[in-house]
Amino acid sequence: MKNANQSEQCTFNNPIMPGFYPDPSVCRVGEDFYLVTSTFAYYPGVPIFQSRDLAHWKQIGNVLDRPSQLNLQGAGHSQGIFAPTLRYHEGTFYMITTNVSHGGNFVVTATDPAGPWSDPYFIEGAEGIDPTIFFDDGKAYYLGTRPCSEGVRYNGNWEVWLRELDLTTMKLVGDSHVLWRGAMVDVIWPEGPHLYKIDEYYYLLIAEGGTGPNHAVTIARSQSLTEGYVGNPNNPIITHRHLGKRYPIVNVGHADLVQAANGQWFMVMLASRPYGGSFSNLGRETFLASVVWEDGWPVVNQGRGILEDQGMLDLPAAPVAPDLRCENFDTDHLGLQWMFLRNPLEDLYSLTERKGYLRLKLKPQTLKELENSSFVCVRQRHMDYVAATAMEFVPQQEHETAGLVVIQNDQYHVRIERALEGEQQVLRVMTWFGGEESQVAQVVLEGDVPRVSMKMAALGQQLSFYYSTDGSEYHLVADRVDTTSLSTEVAGGFVGCCIGMFSSSNGKLSDQAADFDWFEYGSY
């Protein structure tokens, strides 16, 4: 368990994956690390990333990128895909997860982590959520969490259980074993379990305490796979529950361990960064910490014991090309970072009908429903950011709208849209908070204006909106709209904000479309 000394070092910044990238799971194959995160109701599901140094990550695919793999119809923002685990064994990658809205726990496989991945094998009898897969002595095992088998005494009274998984049939076989119910007295929500065989011990790493401020990472070990797990006397091995809701990093938990080829150990985990008070608009992000072993137990960020903004790796730096700040829609496919809400409807968008433009068809569905609307987005990854687009769209009916939006869920978003009111073409800023809609501001577009550029600029929780008719001179529409309602603390759920372009015919039929020439997103 000793870490090898290395002459090359790499500094990393936390979070290593900013924005809505929760429930990270990591594995190493040779010199390469691979990582996946939860996506809930967003499609495609489960992005997969590759890195050589754990600090710089490149998205190489989406594990669930076909309708046959992922049914999200009617799923709430915080339903759908929960807590994936990524593992590699004898030439095959395994990703196991839960679709809480349709079908339950399933596994997909691939020989190339970039895909294609198989259709799902749903696992009969795999009750509960947060599955993982563990390989030991030529056998595979399913590990998950479920309501306490002796009877649920209180909400969150769950347990971690294990059963052998036949990889030929993808069926559970043999007896079920309860491994652990967590470290704390009357613990709630033991979840996100991962098993490791290190020297003579099996180590069981879990999260407990819920996904909010009391989130924590705990660990137990046993010399037997199926029984006798004893908790670390120093549990929890990492948490920020004692630092208060306004500490710069909160909600720390749901971790996975990985060992580099040089012997050094690390832990990835989720956490949130509140800003403008105790408000986490970015959702739960992926962080990294170093790990050393003392007396047979892991010590996280030795000497500090909490997550930090920066850290050091005894690995050579392996930077990757940064994400494009501006997308010009010059190819016939969207980049891997783009997402939809739920399964995209047929004929929802086109990159070929008008070359160099993203065409979003106006559909009756809206962002206020648990449906797939004409909406394509990326994750908000910064507290201070600019998002902008140039749109060609002239509504002919009052129910036809299109524009730019930042969304938390179906009950909470802020948008700037072009619309028709009477005989006037207008741009208006609208809030949808807690299911109630309000108009913040409006400007009238005078004359023939087929093309409008729109921009939203955030400084912390204050979001301002601008427009331009010539692409260079911008005018203010709404100043410093408060966005604390877009936080998890107000809106609830497990996701973070996403930003993108939308169009809608708001419950009616339309043959109209909105053409977007480019989309820009980046920090100040």
Q: What token pair was written down for 28? A: 């190493």
| pLDDT, position 101 | 97
Q: Dihedral angle at the C-alpha atoms of 389, 392, 394, 395, nearest 10 degrees?
A: -60
All residues at 6 or more sequence positions from 211 whose CB lies less than 8 Å from its CB, including other chains: 189, 251, 253, 254, 284, 494
What residue ranges do the domains of the chain occupy? 27-242, 326-523
Lowest mean pLDDT among 150-154, 238-242, 321-325, 352-356: 321-325
15: Cα within 13 Å, side-chain hemisphere: 27
Q: What token pair was written down for 167? A: 């990889």
pLDDT over 90 at 122, yes or no: yes
Average pLDDT value for the chain? 96
Q: For the chain, what percent of residues have pLDDT higher than 70?
A: 99
pLDDT over 90 at 221, yes or no: yes
Stretch 148-165: mean pLDDT: 97
Q: Is residue 191 among the annotated active site residues? A: yes
Stretch 142-160: mean pLDDT: 97
pLDDT over 50 at 3, yes or no: no
Peptide bond into 395 cis (omega under 30): no
| pLDDT, position 6 | 42
- For residue 474, CA distances in Å to 44, 465, 513 come to 34, 10, 24
Query: What whole-number distance in Å separates Cα of residue 210 and Cα of residue 188?
Result: 6
| pLDDT, position 2 | 39
Q: Is residue 199 among the annotated active site residues? A: no
| pLDDT, position 374 | 97
**Tens digits of residue pLDDT in 242-258:** 999 889 999 999 999 99
pTM equals 0.96
| pLDDT, position 240 | 98
The three-state secondary structure class of 13 is strand
- Dump strand ranges (E) for 53-128: 58-64, 81-89, 92-99, 104-110, 121-122
Looking at CATH, the fold of the domain delimited by 326-523 is given as Jelly Rolls (2.60.120)
- For residue 352, CA distances in Å to 144, 252, 291, 329, 330 come to 44, 44, 49, 10, 9
| pLDDT, position 4 | 42
Q: Dihedral angle at the C-alpha atoms of 26, 27, 30, 32, nearest 10 degrees?
A: -20
Query: DSSP of 450-481, one letter per residue?
Result: -EEEEEEEEETTEEEEEEESSSS--EEEEEEE
Stretch 419-447: mean pLDDT: 96
Annotated catalytic residue, options 191, 285, 327, 410: 191
Q: What token pair was written down for 413? A: 């978003």
**Tens digits of residue pLDDT in 455-501:** 999 999 999 999 999 999 999 999 999 999 999 999 999 999 999 99
Q: Which residues pair with 498 in a beta bridge?
A: 379, 407
Give me the phi and psi of 16, to 5 degrees please: -70, -20
| pLDDT, position 171 | 97
Looking at CATH, the fold of the domain delimited by 27-242 is given as Tachylectin-2; Chain A (2.115.10)
Q: What token pair was written down for 85? A: 């685990």
Interior/surface letters 321-330, b for 16+ CB within 10 angstroms, e for the rest: eeeeeebebe
